[in-house]
Amino acid sequence: MNIKNLILPAIVAAVEAGFAILEVYNQDFAVEEKEDKSPLTMADKRSHEIIMSHLAPLDIPVLSEEGKRIDYHVRKQWEYLWIVDPLDGTKEFIKKNDEFTVNIALVKENTPVMGVIYVPVLKQLYFAAKDFGAYLMVLDSDFDFMDIPLTQIVNKSLPIDIAPGKTRPFTIVGSRSHATRELEEYVEQKRIEHGTVDFISAGSSLKLCRVAEGSADVYPRLGPTMEWDTAAGHIIAECAGASVFRADTGEPLLYNKENLLNPWFFVSNGKH
The DSSP string of 160-171 is: --SS-SS---EE
Region at 190 (left for phi over 0; alpha for psi -120 to 50; beta for the rest): alpha
pLDDT tens for the chain, 272 residues long, are: 899 999 999 999 999 999 999 998 888 777 666 665 566 678 888 999 999 999 999 999 999 876 677 889 999 999 999 999 999 988 888 888 899 999 999 999 999 999 999 999 999 999 999 999 999 999 987 677 777 899 999 999 999 999 987 789 999 999 866 678 888 899 999 999 999 999 999 988 999 999 999 999 999 999 899 999 999 999 999 999 999 999 999 999 999 999 999 999 999 998 66
Q: Which domains does the chain have, with CATH numbers?
A: 3-159 (3.30.540.10), 170-268 (3.40.190.80)
Residue 8's nearest CA partner among 174, 123, 137 is: 137
**Predicted local confidence at residue 93, as pLDDT:** 82
**Predicted local confidence at residue 176, as pLDDT:** 65
Give the pTM: 0.94
Type of residue numbered 67: G
The DSSP string of 181-231 is: HHHHHHHHHHHHHHSSEEEEEE-TTHHHHHHHTTS-SEEEE-S--BHHHHH
Judge whether 257 and 246 are in contact, CB under 8 Å. no
Rounded to 5 degrees, what angle do the CA atoms 125, 264, 101 make? 20
Q: DSSP 3-state assignment of 84?
A: strand
**Predicted local confidence at residue 145, as pLDDT:** 75
Residue 244's nearest CA partner among 206, 205, 218, 214 is: 218
**Predicted local confidence at residue 4, as pLDDT:** 92
Residue 108 forms beta bridges with which residues? 80, 111
Judge whether 234 and 105 are in contact, CB under 8 Å. yes
The backbone torsions φ and ψ at residue 59, rounded to the nearest 5 degrees and listed phi first, read 60, 40
Nearest-10 crossing angle of helices 7-25, 42-55: 160
